[in-house]
Amino acid sequence: MLRFDNAMIGALDQKVALVTGAAQGMGAACAKRLAAEGAHLALMDVQEIRTEDALFVQGDVTKGDDVRRAVALTKAELGRLDILVHAAGVLRPTSLFEMDEEEWDWVMAVNLKGAFLTSREVAPLMRDQSFGRIVHFSSTAGKTVSTIGGCHYTAAKHGVLGLTRALAKELAAHGITVNAVCPGLIDTEMVRDTIPEASIRAFESSFPIPRLGTPEEVAELVCFLVGERAGYITGAAIDINGGDFLA
- Residues designated as active site: 153
Q: What is the dihedral of CA 63, 120, 112, 192, to 10 degrees?
A: -80
Concatenated DSSP letters for 18-75? Answer: EEESTTSHHHHHHHHHHHHTT-EEEEEESS----SSSEEEE--TT-HHHHHHHHHHHH
Name, in order, each residue with C-beta under 8 angstroms of 202's C-beta and a sequence gap of 6 or more: none
Quick count: other Cβ atoms within 10 Å of Cβ 166?
Answer: 12
The strand pair at 176-183 and 55-58 is best described as unpaired
Helix axes 114-129, 64-78, angle to 10 degrees: 30
Quick count: other Cβ atoms within 10 Å of Cβ 159?
Answer: 18
The secondary structure element, H or E, covering residue 151 is: helix 151-171
| Distance between CA atoms of residues 183 and 42, nearest Å | 23
CA angle 86, 90, 92 (to 5 degrees): 155
The strand pair at 176-183 and 237-240 is best described as parallel
